[in-house]
Amino acid sequence: MVDLKQQYQKIKTEVDAAVLKVIESAGFINGPEVTQFADALAKYNGVQHVIPCANGTDALQIAMMALGLEPGDEVITPSFTYIATTEVIALLKLKPVFVDVDPKTFNIDPEAIQKAITPRTKAIVPVHLYGQAANMEEIINIASAKNLFVIEDNAQAIGSDYYFSNGTSKKTGSIGTIGCTSFFPSKNLGAYGDGGAITTNDSALATKLRMVANHGQSKRYYHDVIGCNSRLDTIQAAILRIKLNYLDQYIDARRSVADYYDAAFASHPKITTPYRSAFSKHVFHQYTLILEGINRVELQTYLAGHDIPSMIYYPVPAHKQKMFESFGSSETDLPATDFLTERVISLPVHTEMDEEQLNFITSKILEYIN
């Protein structure tokens, strides 16, 4: 689905030098590159504070810990997402309240949020799925009216812009109370190992987030709150600092791939190409089609036979996962989530795809379907 080897070859000289420098300095933990990368990301993302951490799942967990959510507090989340979003809610003994998505954008439906709010609701976690922003303007309006926190799961959409109705724009991850992102190697800004970051414009909250990520420590060996140990290591920070300079280029490459696919599948009666909402710049972490009247398993087998990878993100929605059995959430009626779960398929999209590959993939798919 991605080609990280070829991507590395193009930046090898820079990356190798940066990694060697860290090794030679032996500053493996909290070396200067960590702060340098955090500062560069803050600037890029238009936020005051970036707190690097070990991975995107930790970012979400630390966010919820720092906001002081209490056991039993309700957190509204889409079910149509990667499991990490919802898992950390339950891990902290909070209650995940699964709501439906807009079947066009794959993202959390503001109307469904509105209906799910109770006196125990404390936070909303919109996920900018596949690289396109959720409807943040409506979500922020709902949250402000009810005094709720908004934690953006920006793991798939780093670099995306959100366009407000008044003509201004902001980067995803800089709009809610807190933004959380992941540098898992296949993400749009991928490290060469695990990594994550938390973003916020609230200085007091940033202090708390840093504390939670560092054993609840206020000064050395003084621990004020229960925290965890979650760091971005220096080698990863050094690599990410270089790759951040290429992020916009990487996004352009992904968008070109999406354009090619869009044109190839345009107006095919059995294929719906990804909807592009007016309020978001889609950064195409995934290129995901909705298939109608096509046996997805057989198509995948056929594609695999031609060495074309494809994936189902995600084959089981969160509310139907066994881990949430005790919440009884599998009974929740989420028709758009079920509809999409049965019909989506994601095709390869990455920074190194060429026209020959794209032509091969699209013609094989059309050959099969027509």
Ligand X SMILES: *Cc1c(COP(=O)(O)O)cnc(C)c1O
Q: Using CB under 6 A as the criterion, which residues of the chain lie in contact with ligand X when the complex forms?
A: 55-57, 81-82, 84-85, 127, 153, 155-156, 182, 184, 194, 196
Is residue 61 within 8 Å of residue 92, measured between CB atoms?
yes
- Using the minimum distance from each CB to ligand X, give the nearer residue, 176 or 260: 176
CB 209 to ligand X: min, Å: 16
CA distances from 219 to 108, 125, 173, 211, 214 (A): 40, 31, 28, 9, 10
CB 182 to ligand X: min, Å: 3
CB 187 to ligand X: min, Å: 6
Q: In 306-354, which ranges are continuous DSSP H helix?
A: 335-343
CB 94 to ligand X: min, Å: 16
Task: Output the DSSP codes for 78-146.
Answer: ESSS-HHHHHHHHHTT-EEEEE-B-TTT-SB-HHHHHHH--TTEEEE--B-GGG----HHHHHHHHHHH
- Using the minimum distance from each CB to ligand X, give the nearer residue, 63 or 206: 63
- Using the minimum distance from each CB to ligand X, give the nearer residue, 179 or 265: 179
The angle, 0 to 180 degrees and rounded to 10, between the axes of the packed helices 234-244 and 4-25 is 130
CB 151 to ligand X: min, Å: 11
Q: Is the dihedral of CA 184, 186, 189, 190 positive or negative?
A: positive
- Using the minimum distance from each CB to ligand X, give the nearer residue, 102 or 153: 153
CB 101 to ligand X: min, Å: 13
- Using the minimum distance from each CB to ligand X, give the nearer residue, 127 or 349: 127
Residue nearest ligand X (C-beta atom)? 56
- Which phi-psi region, left, alpha or beta, contains residue 49 (left: φ > 0; alpha: ψ -120 to 50)? beta
What letter would DSSP give residue 287?
E
- Using the minimum distance from each CB to ligand X, give the nearer residue, 128 or 281: 128
CB 366 to ligand X: min, Å: 29
Ranges assigned E (strand) in the chain: 49-53, 74-78, 95-99, 121-124, 149-153, 161-163, 169-171, 178-182, 196-200, 217-219, 222-223, 271-272, 287-291, 344-347
- Using the minimum distance from each CB to ligand X, give the nearer residue, 200 or 365: 200
CA angle 182, 187, 193 (to 5 degrees): 70
- Using the minimum distance from each CB to ligand X, give the nearer residue, 210 or 285: 285
- Using the minimum distance from each CB to ligand X, give the nearer residue, 135 or 156: 156
CB 223 to ligand X: min, Å: 25
CB 269 to ligand X: min, Å: 31
Is residue 122 within 8 Å of residue 77, measured between CB atoms?
no
